[in-house]
Amino acid sequence: DAAAVPPSAPAAPRAAAHLYPDADREAALLHRAATSSPLAVDRLRHLCDVIGPRLSGSAGLERAVAWAERTLREDGLEVRLQPVMVPRWVRGEESLELVAPRRARLPLLGLGNSVGTPPDGITAEVVVCRDFDELAAQADRVPGRIVLFDAAMPPYDPDRGAGYGPTVVYRTAGASRAAALGAVGCLVRSVTATSLATPHTGMLRYESGKPQIPAAAVTTEDADMLRRLTEAGETVAVTLRMDARFEEDAPSANVIADIPGRELPDEVVLISAHLDSWDVGQGAHDDGGSCVAVMTAMTLLREAFGPSRRTIRAVLFTNEENGLRGSRDYINGHSGEIAGYQVAIEADSGTYRPLGFTAPAANDEASTRVRRRIERLAAHLAPFGAGRLRDGGGGADIGPMAAFGVPLLGLDVEGDRYFDIHHTHADTFDKVDPEDLRACTWALAAAARLLAEMPERLIAE
């Protein structure tokens, strides 16, 4: 609180760092409210245990949409649903059996959007490669075989992060690259550095004009074993069975809730997460915890302050995991107003302890000006451990808003455990620390309030 600064202290530099005079006091008020509230934990328990997994097109997702709308409306917020037609991919029954040099059932998860196999499955020898260069070097062995991409994700590094991006490319693009050389199926090493025989699913993308072959993830342990067998000169063969298929698109919706601004209602501060999840586990960290943090932040903001200078909007996007249609339809439906937004913030990295935000890098005069204002926000969050800024931006749902000139932020949390359970049966309520969840709720509420209440626009000259 600026009023607590002793008269003899050099007040000018500290005052210059403020977004506005009451920012420290309001950040502290929200911290007390968020860290003492049971709402976020209670809501996540309901979302995980009562509603469960929420794949696009499923009854679970639509129960979640109805629940989120009802909950936000009961909290006194202005709520509406934006209809979105989403893809309905059905996993069906699936199995993987090692048939040579011995017989064994291997855990697997089909990749999202994959096609299925014939009813009797596909039995074929396995070609193992670490990357696309090794695939090309073995091109003559690929026709009629199943390709395994054994690309190991490196252990988490505090400076470089998880190494997800360079590894996940084999999950998203591997099937088409293998099919182009005549492969009849594709397996990928699960995108994780830590495993207890746990396969990780996720979306693939088929290239236009390439054959579509079934694709699934295997555990890191089995990927290692299959590589060892081939390196020892053994003939390795498996039978892959997948009932995966697309059915007709299904109705869903983005859930949108507003606290209208008292002075500048068109300058929206948007906080967001995605309500859908994969069909395994409970979608607790991805992205249920962030959804309830966004919801509860809105409740706390309305109760603590009422309207801010600008509108604060929560968006719970549908269909982030396997289509991004919620993002597409939101942007198409609001394209006339997005350029006037103050900021868009996305939370989609799990609800571990918040460290700060990812923010646009300072590359020119305009981006440097935005970055310096975000640094002032970070200074108000730093006393509570969330003042770190890293270069980056928002996530997949808000990413297209950058084309409208909107500054994008992402909630930045401790990332060393996220990919241990990402897209697995293990992403369940018990993996979320209640204290961390409440802290994420505070970080989103504080950032939203301070950026909505500051006098100037982030992008103002």
Q: Give the mean pLDDT of 296-313.
A: 97
Using CA atoms, how far residue 172 sits from 111, 133, 397, 441, in Å, is: 9, 16, 18, 32
Classify the C-alpha dihedral 286-291-294-297 as positive or negative. Answer: negative
Q: Give the mean pLDDT of 83-98.
A: 98
Output the pLDDT for position 157.
87
Tell me which amino acid residue 424 is: T
User: What count of other Cβ atoms lies within 10 Å of the Cβ of residue 133?
Assistant: 9
pLDDT in tens, 381-421: 999 999 999 999 899 999 999 999 999 999 999 999 999 99
Omega of the bond prior to 266 within 30 degrees of 0, cis?
A: no
Q: Give the mean pLDDT of 321-341.
A: 98
pLDDT in tens, 199-254: 999 999 999 999 999 999 999 999 999 999 999 999 999 999 999 999 999 999 99
pLDDT in tens, 127-144: 999 999 999 999 999 999
Residue 116: both structure tokens together: 């299925």
Burial of 93 (0-12, 13-18, 19+ CB in 10 A): exposed
Classify the C-alpha dihedral 61-67-70-72 as positive or negative. Answer: negative
pLDDT in tens, 242-279: 999 999 999 999 999 999 999 999 999 999 999 999 99
pTM of the shown model: 0.94
pLDDT of 327 strictly over 50 = yes
Positions annotated as catalytic residues are 320
Output the pLDDT for position 292.
98
Q: β-pairing, 354-359 with 388-391? A: parallel
Residue 358 sits at φ, ψ, to 5 deg, of -85, 145
Nearest to 338, CA basis, from 319, 315, 307, 357: 315
